[in-house]
Structure 1
Amino acid sequence: MWLFTRWRLSITLLSNFTGICCTVTVKAVSHSKNKDDTMKIYCQFPIHKPAIEAHFGQRVTCVESPGDADYLLSGRFTADMYHPDLKGVIIPYTGHDQIEIETMRQHNLKLFNVTGHSRFVAERALQLLHAITGKVVAYHNRLAKGDWSGRTTANDRIPWDSLFERRIGLFGYGRIGQWIATLLKPYAPALCVIDRGKRYEGVETVPDLHALAELSEIMIISTPLTPETEGVFNRAIFEKLGAAYLINVGRGKIVDETALYEALASKKLQGYASDVWFNYPKDEQPTYPTNTPIHTFDNVVMTPHSGGHTTTSFSVMVAEIIGHLEALLEGDFSAALDLGRLT
């Protein structure tokens, strides 16, 4: 048994990947636990190695193969990655859609994630919302061609939609969803979420997605991708949404790709703005984010899954990763996710 006292440490590092110099500040509170002196960790992304090595020295070794690691710092885990010495997985971001949860349960592994960047993802949702309802991209593209969107002819002038006092549905009310609700407060919206048996303050609740879609003028997706949420925004939901705006910072495949195209092409859906997609590049080759031509529509705004990637988010996320590793060295697993509640 070893008593670990409160400490504070700052590290300055230069990321070769981003070229951003950042300071990582970590705080921890002591726990009296069985202590591991050293740990071996596999980093899926080399960007994390410098900070880990600078902070821990010989206490944590970054190994080259998942098969040699006590813990994986990885957003991906499959059955073939398991070995008897593996203790758990730390996801270096929030989503667990590439983690085989059942395999982790079978082997009694611990799962952790990083959520400090949630406020940045929520901020990206608000940016997308402003851009699509304010017609910012459409106005820009027209003005770049000398078109003033009917400014000189009042009858044809193109208006934009204000966010004040709108009915906004939040599909997902975890950390990101709650940050979105906080950021929306100045607009005095009527916020609504699906009742999942939790405690909700400052929002209305409805029993299911159909009811949420029916009352929403704006819908914001921030929930994880699971077997239950994949493709859940289908034709039936788009019929309920009608002429609403849909914002997505959850995962692309929560939305049915064909149904989305049909709703946008027919103008039944007022607009779609998303940071998450159906297709992702495997190399540096140009890759369209969808298999449909919605990128050509003026009622669509797109960003390249960059909501959590700000000039300051890296230091926030690294600090949380280091905090997880410090706790694990002390035998403290209190931050582990409840695998029984994940799918």
Structure 2
Amino acid sequence: MAKIICVLYDDPIAGYPKSYARDDVAQPEHYPDGQTLPTPKGIDFKPGTLLGSVSGELGLRKYLESNGHQLVVTSSKDGADSVLDRELHDAEIVISQPFWPAYMTAERIAKAPKLKMIVTAGIGSDHIDLEAANTRNITVAEVTYSNSNSVAEHVVMMILSQVRNYIPSYNWVVKGGWNIADCVERSYDLEAMSVGTVAAGRIGLRVLRLLKPFDVKLHYTDRHRLPESVEKELNLTHHTSVESLTKVCDVVTLNCPLYPETEHMINETTLKNFKRGAYLINTARGKLCDRDAIVSALESGQLAGYAGDVWFPQPPPADHPWRHMPNHGMTPHISGSSLTAQTRYATGTREILECYFEGRPIRDEYLIVQGGKLAGVGAHSYSEGNATKGSEEAERFKK
């Protein structure tokens, strides 16, 4: 029997849903690069239901308990008295989501001598000390591509909401006003602007494809250059550095993983290379940006707006300055947790567990670390190291 700890975000304030806005969810037949959607032997939930919260349990309880395993589901993840820390001592598998990450630091991994696998239900495993996982020969897996397109849609929404000044305009309506001048004094057309993505992997490339019909000038930088055919198709301008891209772009969107080399890549110095009045969109990881440098750039006008879906730590403390800085469009980390995406990442988590317990190979697209080294998609996207430092600040968050 294996003990599995599943760390998920809390249920809605009004309680777990008894009904939903829609009766079903539309799903693609395959991902744009041809990768198939998750293919477990079965699922024990209705697609389109809330699976990512505590009561949803990622739809795993029936499967795990019927096979003799123990499942512990909790939202309590921060601090020495958390359920996660109390249960770690004999856990074999830890599962969490990027939206409510169980920060698996070297210290926590050391307290879990039976730990064999850490699974991200979603994409992005920077909340795990990959170096410590390598040392302990712990497998790290994530459900690659499960919510990439969901995040890309969120990026486009945030770009438009910032450039068109949507949030302040909506708030005038809520307050009973008809303040057209106040609404449009910061509103522009996206058309003809230069938009650049830092990284053009699954999410970044999808963003570029979604933006092409807006007749914008598209730019990108990535350590893996795109094929010439794709650059021609989208009329892309390739940049060999982030600095080269930010000098010419009106909108910059971050779509790269977090690892030691990308931590705080956007800081006081690099922000000086941005065009004055540029917009910065970050649905990748909060720690790509220096927290206070973003606030200062918004206050000075160097940035016209910042829209982010990611914070560090997660959840952020109640006094986190990004909650109150000017001209922001922050959301909780929701971009990849639509009910549509939850169906895919819960199904993919089930597939990973089936492979693990049945001794079958986990597909390369899902592997981050295996056999004491970066593996599969992890070898392509990450570098060895630790990006979890400072995560203990999450303990300061009060509901």
Using the size of structure 2 for normalisation, the TM-score is 0.67
1:26 shift after superposition: 5.6
Instruction: Give CA-to-partner distance per residue, 1:236-285, whole Å, 9 cap, x none.
Output: 22221122111111122221222222221121212111112246557xxx
1:205 aligned partner = 238
1:189 aligned partner = 216
**Closer, same or farther in 2 for the Cα pair 1:69/1:293, shift >3 Å?**
closer
Contact residue 327 and residue 333 of structure 1 kept, 8 A = yes
The correspondence of residues 182-331 of structure 1 with structure 2, limited to 5 A, is 182-200=209-227, 201-202=230-231, 203-241=236-274, 242-278=276-312, 280-281=314-315, 287-290=318-321, 293-294=324-325, 297=326, 299-328=327-356, 329-331=358-360
**Closer, same or farther in 2 for the Cα pair 1:260/1:26, shift >3 Å?**
closer
SS for the counterpart of 1:258 is helix
2:67 aligned partner = 59
Structure with the larger strand share: 1
Contact residue 137 and residue 301 of structure 1 kept, 8 A = yes
| Candidates 78, 87, 107, aligned match of 2:116 | 87
The correspondence of residues 47-196 of structure 1 with structure 2, limited to 5 A, is 47=55, 49=57, 51-59=59-67, 61-64=69-72, 65-74=87-96, 75-79=102-106, 80-82=108-110, 83=112, 85-115=114-144, 116-143=146-173, 144=175, 146-150=177-181, 158=185, 160-196=187-223
**Closer, same or farther in 2 for the Cα pair 1:119/1:47, shift >3 Å?**
farther
Of 97-106 and 72-81, the range deviating more from structure 2: 72-81
Higher relative contact order (CA 8 A, sep 6+): 2
Unaligned runs of 5+ in 1: 1-14, 30-43
Could you tell me which amino acid in structure 1 is paired with residue 161 of structure 2? A
Which whole-Å CA distance do the structure 2 matches of 1:305 and 1:139 have between them?
23
1:61 shift after superposition: 1.3
SS for the counterpart of 1:240 is coil
Contact residue 58 and residue 346 of structure 2 kept, 8 A = no
| Candidates 39, 48, 68, aligned match of 1:27 | 39
1:205 shift after superposition: 1.8
**Closer, same or farther in 2 for the Cα pair 1:305/1:195, shift >3 Å?**
closer
1:195 shift after superposition: 3.6
1:150 shift after superposition: 2.8
Percent same amino acid at aligned positions?
25
Which whole-Å CA distance do the structure 2 matches of 1:128 and 1:168 have between them?
13
Unaligned runs of 5+ in 2: 1-8, 28-36, 42-51, 73-86, 97-101, 385-399
1:37 aligned partner = none
- Give the total of aligned pairs: 305
Of 251-260 and 127-136, the range deviating more from structure 2: 251-260
**Closer, same or farther in 2 for the Cα pair 1:46/1:311, shift >3 Å?**
closer
SS for the counterpart of 2:306 is strand
**Closer, same or farther in 2 for the Cα pair 1:50/1:334, shift >3 Å?**
closer
1:4 aligned partner = none
Which whole-Å CA distance do the structure 1 matches of 2:71 and 2:269 have between them?
49
SS for the counterpart of 2:362 is coil
Contact residue 278 and residue 289 of structure 1 kept, 8 A = no
Which whole-Å CA distance do the structure 2 matches of 1:90 and 1:315 have between them?
16
Could you tell me which amino acid in structure 1 is paired with residue 299 of structure 2? A
**Closer, same or farther in 2 for the Cα pair 1:114/1:288, shift >3 Å?**
farther
1:16 shift after superposition: 9.4
Q: Aligned Cα RMSD in Å?
A: 3.2
**Closer, same or farther in 2 for the Cα pair 1:247/1:228, shift >3 Å?**
same
Could you tell me which amino acid in structure 2 is paired with residue 178 of structure 1? L
1:70 shift after superposition: 3.3
1:27 shift after superposition: 2.4
1:100 shift after superposition: 0.9
Instruction: Give CA-to-partner distance per residue, 1:13-55, whole Å, 9 cap, x none.
Output: xx994635789996259xxxxxxxxxxxxxx974564622323
Of 173-182 and 131-140, the range deviating more from structure 2: 173-182
SS for the counterpart of 1:277 is coil
